[in-house]
Amino acid sequence: MQDIKEDRITAEQLDELRRMTGSYESLFSRRAIKYKTLGLKDKVLKESDFRKLILEEYTFLKRPVIIFNKKVFAGSDKNVLEELKLALK
Protein backbone atom coordinates (compact mmCIF):
# COMPACT_ATOMS: atom_id res chain seq x y z
CA MET A 1 0.00 0.00 0.00
CA GLN A 2 1.19 3.46 -0.86
CA ASP A 3 -0.66 6.66 -0.04
CA ILE A 4 0.32 8.74 -3.07
CA LYS A 5 -0.93 11.91 -1.40
CA GLU A 6 1.70 11.53 1.34
CA ASP A 7 4.25 9.38 -0.51
CA ARG A 8 4.22 10.62 -4.11
CA ILE A 9 4.62 8.21 -6.98
CA THR A 10 8.14 8.29 -8.34
CA ALA A 11 9.09 8.61 -11.99
CA GLU A 12 10.47 5.07 -11.84
CA GLN A 13 7.22 3.67 -10.42
CA LEU A 14 5.16 5.50 -13.03
CA ASP A 15 7.43 4.33 -15.85
CA GLU A 16 7.07 0.74 -14.62
CA LEU A 17 3.26 1.07 -14.56
CA ARG A 18 3.42 2.45 -18.10
CA ARG A 19 5.55 -0.50 -19.18
CA MET A 20 2.96 -2.86 -17.73
CA THR A 21 -0.10 -1.07 -19.20
CA GLY A 22 1.30 0.22 -22.47
CA SER A 23 0.54 3.91 -21.94
CA TYR A 24 0.51 6.76 -19.48
CA GLU A 25 -2.90 7.73 -20.78
CA SER A 26 -4.39 4.50 -19.42
CA LEU A 27 -3.26 5.62 -15.95
CA PHE A 28 -4.51 9.19 -16.31
CA SER A 29 -7.70 10.31 -14.57
CA ARG A 30 -9.89 12.70 -16.48
CA ARG A 31 -12.13 12.87 -13.39
CA ALA A 32 -9.59 15.00 -11.52
CA ILE A 33 -10.94 18.46 -10.76
CA LYS A 34 -7.79 20.07 -12.17
CA TYR A 35 -8.44 18.40 -15.53
CA LYS A 36 -11.28 20.85 -16.16
CA THR A 37 -9.89 23.83 -14.26
CA LEU A 38 -6.62 23.72 -16.22
CA GLY A 39 -8.57 23.48 -19.48
CA LEU A 40 -6.98 20.15 -20.34
CA LYS A 41 -10.22 18.78 -21.78
CA ASP A 42 -9.81 21.24 -24.66
CA LYS A 43 -6.22 20.24 -25.42
CA VAL A 44 -4.70 17.33 -27.28
CA LEU A 45 -2.35 15.64 -24.84
CA LYS A 46 0.63 13.46 -25.75
CA GLU A 47 2.06 10.59 -23.72
CA SER A 48 4.76 12.89 -22.38
CA ASP A 49 2.05 15.30 -21.20
CA PHE A 50 0.21 12.55 -19.32
CA ARG A 51 3.46 11.49 -17.61
CA LYS A 52 4.37 15.03 -16.62
CA LEU A 53 0.89 15.81 -15.28
CA ILE A 54 0.69 12.63 -13.18
CA LEU A 55 4.10 13.32 -11.65
CA GLU A 56 3.17 16.95 -10.90
CA GLU A 57 -0.29 16.30 -9.44
CA TYR A 58 -1.18 13.03 -7.72
CA THR A 59 -4.90 13.45 -8.47
CA PHE A 60 -4.21 12.79 -12.16
CA LEU A 61 -3.33 9.17 -11.38
CA LYS A 62 -6.34 6.86 -11.57
CA ARG A 63 -7.03 5.27 -8.22
CA PRO A 64 -6.85 2.73 -6.92
CA VAL A 65 -3.93 1.15 -8.73
CA ILE A 66 -3.68 -2.55 -7.99
CA ILE A 67 -0.95 -4.80 -9.33
CA PHE A 68 -1.91 -8.47 -9.22
CA ASN A 69 -0.12 -11.28 -11.06
CA LYS A 70 1.91 -8.72 -13.04
CA LYS A 71 -1.26 -7.03 -14.33
CA VAL A 72 -2.27 -3.47 -13.52
CA PHE A 73 -5.84 -2.54 -12.62
CA ALA A 74 -6.17 1.25 -12.53
CA GLY A 75 -9.27 3.16 -11.53
CA SER A 76 -12.68 2.30 -10.24
CA ASP A 77 -14.60 1.95 -13.49
CA LYS A 78 -17.05 -0.92 -13.47
CA ASN A 79 -15.20 -2.86 -16.19
CA VAL A 80 -11.85 -2.54 -14.36
CA LEU A 81 -13.39 -3.84 -11.14
CA GLU A 82 -14.98 -6.76 -13.01
CA GLU A 83 -11.61 -7.65 -14.55
CA LEU A 84 -10.03 -7.51 -11.09
CA LYS A 85 -12.72 -9.78 -9.63
CA LEU A 86 -12.11 -12.34 -12.37
CA ALA A 87 -8.34 -12.19 -11.82
CA LEU A 88 -8.76 -12.75 -8.08
CA LYS A 89 -10.79 -15.93 -8.57
Question: What are the residue ranges spanned by the domains of the chain?
Answer: 11-88
Instruction: Supply the mean pLDDT for the chain.
Output: 96
Q: Is the dihedral of CA 24, 10, 4, 43 positive or negative?
A: negative
> Before 64, cis peptide (omega within 30)?
yes
Distance set, CA 36 to CA 33, 40, 41, 65, 75 (Å) = 6, 6, 6, 22, 18
Q: Dihedral through CA 88, CA 59, CA 3, CA 71, nearest 10?
A: 30
pTM of the predicted model, to two decimals?
Answer: 0.91
- Residues 43-63 have pLDDT tens digits of 999 999 999 999 999 999 999
Distance set, CA 80 to CA 9, 41, 51, 76, 85 (Å) = 21, 23, 21, 6, 9
pLDDT of the residue at 13: 97
